[in-house]
């Protein structure tokens, strides 16, 4: 189970399926991966690393196999981070620069269960929903809304 918690300065925290790790992100642009048995982070990425500079983190989601976290920023950037290595594995560039990434969700397109990196959907204030194949780190499709100022993603069976 993945849970989401909204805090004041730390905008979101996710607990990957194992329940043994916590991921926090904040509006300052820091992503921190924690082992709750320690006060020392497993890893921390932030805006001082130019490759991770997102103008503040606005959304994130962990893939079903709990191996990757997809992180969206206020400046329109999307980063894919390996949870085992603590490294940026890809920069996804389908949204308009300067438009905030407001939603990220993982979907099972085949209905056969998910394994591997997965398929992610990102939604931004540019009115786009971008569908990403994280096994290839390529954009599969872009969906465009005419009304762009509000964006949410919800999937169900």
What is the tally of structural domains in the chain? 1
What integer best gives the mean pLDDT of the chain?
84
Q: Look at residue 150 and tell me if it is in a domain.
A: no
1: confidence class by pLDDT, cuts 50, 70, 90: very low
pLDDT in tens, 58-117: 999 999 888 999 999 999 999 999 999 999 999 999 999 999 999 999 998 777 666 789
- Per-residue model confidence (pLDDT) at position 17: 66
145: confidence class by pLDDT, cuts 50, 70, 90: confident
Token readout for 106 is 């993982």
The CATH number covering residue 121 comes to 2.130.10.10
Give me the domain span that covers residue 19. Answer: 4-144
- Per-residue model confidence (pLDDT) at position 138: 95
Contact status, residue 117 vs residue 103, Cβ threshold 8 Å: no
């Amino acid at each position: 189970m993945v849970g989401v918690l909204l805090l004041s300065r730390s905008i979101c925290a996710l607990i990957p399926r194992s329940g043994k790790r916590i991921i926090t992100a904040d509006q300052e642009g820091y992503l921190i991966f924690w082992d709750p048995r320690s006060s020392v982070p497993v890893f921390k990425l932030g805006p001082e690393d130019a490759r991770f500079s997102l103008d503040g983190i606005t959304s994130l989601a962990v893939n079903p196999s709990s191996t990757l976290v997809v992180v969206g920023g206020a400046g329109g950037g999307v980063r894919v981070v390996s949870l085992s290595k603590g490294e940026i594995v890809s920069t996804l560039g389908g949204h308009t620069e300067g438009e905030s990434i407001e939603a990220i969700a993982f979907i099972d397109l085949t209905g056969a269960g998910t394994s591997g990196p997965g398929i992610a959907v990102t939604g931004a204030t540019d009115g786009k929903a971008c569908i990403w194949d994280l096994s290839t780190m390529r954009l599969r499709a872009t969906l465009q809304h005419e009304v762009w100022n509000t964006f949410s993603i919800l999937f169900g069976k």
